[in-house]
Amino acid sequence: MNTVEKALMHGLFVHLHHNIDKAIDFGIFQKLNEMVGQMSPGELLIGPEANDDAAVFRMPGDEGLMVAKMESHCSPCVPRPYDGAATGAGGAMRDVVAMGARPLFLLDFIGTRPLDEMVIVGSCGFKGQCTCGHCRTMTSGERVNLLVKGIRDMCEAMGVFVAGGGLSTSFSDIVPAVVVAVIGRMVADQPLTKPAKRVGDRLVIIGETGNDGNDTLFRAGLVEEMRPAEALFNEERTTMEAALAAIKTGKINACSDLGAAGIGAAVSESVRFGGLGARVDLSRAPVRVENLTPEEILICETQARMLFQVAPEDAAEVIAAARAQGAAAADIGEITPGNEAIFLYGDKEVARIPHTPPKELFE
């Protein structure tokens, strides 16, 4: 197990970011929803037990479908409050898009220390004191202003209303609470879902990959400094419009946004949930910066990216629809039989991620 495999499998199988069901019993919500569904049958199509990118539901009396997603982005807001809050909002919006919907409304919640208390903004923020000499010290209130501006600027870029939210200054932790909920309306006929569906489907990526966003490496204890992903406002809007154009072709069989652990997690989760395998050539992925290593392309968390699965005969049409909106798009691999995702760079194997984690991961 090499370093990038260890980091990716830690994120997929150990850290709660990808394993919320280990901490929360979704079954209690499923039973509740089934009971409520007897009074309002057919209104909830995809709930929390599906463990997909977002929820899908129908408002009574409305023929269309709605999509909703709530997401926290707390730790990245310690070193980079503005970018951390903005990428949290953008990530929740991409989750809504991944189900086949356009995001329309956002609500946010921020929890922080009393507004006059001092906080450290920078890589030493988790330690409580700066030892690098590059961090900034500011009041909690000044940091709140940065958080709010990050959310606001992403909503402006994406054409999304801020419909409401909340603030609490009773938090005592170093890490602020930054939570957003996004609601959108479906543009596809049926919800798109994450699990892989068919052997032979092509993997089409929209958006360019960079070397920013090392959260997965940080959580696995493999790097000392968290370097969160940068907020890419114009690119997020371009990717959203390209993704929606691709979705409207009606040729998408499965979809996921690229957030935590990047291409590696998006592919590995999809095939694990679908009971299939994948073979990906990372050298085909469009990139934002030169001289990226294969490992960076695999696991970095650059924003403004989506991943689609389409039949081989439809790949060219989907790529053309995305490119017509000004986005980079490429075919980077295929769905295969089997129980693992294999990531290559040309002929070189970079990582092999099984559906079941090896025992040494937990030792």
User: Mean of the per-residue pLDDT values for the chain?
Assistant: 94
Mean pLDDT of 234-258: 97
On whether both 217 and 358 belong to a single domain, the answer is yes
Where residue 117 sits, what CATH number does that domain have?
3.30.1330.10
pLDDT band at 216 (very low <50, low <70, confident <90, very high): confident
User: Where among 186, 211, 232 does a domain terminate?
Assistant: 186
| Cut 0.85: pTM above it | yes
Residue 195 near residue 121, CB atoms below 8 Å: no
Cα separation, 118 vs 138, in Å, equals 5
Residue 23 near residue 276, CB atoms below 8 Å: no
Domain that holds residue 93: 52-186
Cα separation, 69 vs 32, in Å, equals 19
- Per-residue model confidence (pLDDT) at position 162: 98
Mean pLDDT of 125-149: 94
Evaluate whether residue 220 is within a structural domain: yes
Distances from the Cα of 278 to the Cα of 264, 325, 344, 350, 353, angstroms: 11, 28, 11, 14, 10
pLDDT band at 208 (very low <50, low <70, confident <90, very high): very high
Mean pLDDT of 218-247: 92
Evaluate whether residue 11 is within a structural domain: no
On whether both 206 and 156 belong to a single domain, the answer is no
Evaluate whether residue 82 is within a structural domain: yes
Is the model more confident about 90 or about 59? Answer: 90
Cα separation, 36 vs 53, in Å, equals 23
Cα separation, 229 vs 249, in Å, equals 30
Judge whether residue 137 has pLDDT over 90: yes
- Per-residue model confidence (pLDDT) at position 14: 87
Evaluate whether residue 156 is within a structural domain: yes
Q: Look at the block and give the residue holding tokens 């946004």.
A: 257
On whether both 166 and 209 belong to a single domain, the answer is no
Mean pLDDT of 81-99: 98
> Residue 168's beta-bridge partner residues?
111
Judge whether residue 112 has pLDDT over 80: yes
- Per-residue model confidence (pLDDT) at position 327: 98
Judge whether residue 363 has pLDDT over 80: no
On whether both 207 and 182 belong to a single domain, the answer is no
Domains identified in the chain, total number: 2
User: Where among 186, 215, 248 does a domain terminate?
Assistant: 186
- Per-residue model confidence (pLDDT) at position 47: 94
pLDDT in tens, 248-303: 999 999 999 998 899 999 999 999 999 999 999 999 999 999 999 999 999 999 99
pLDDT band at 198 (very low <50, low <70, confident <90, very high): very high
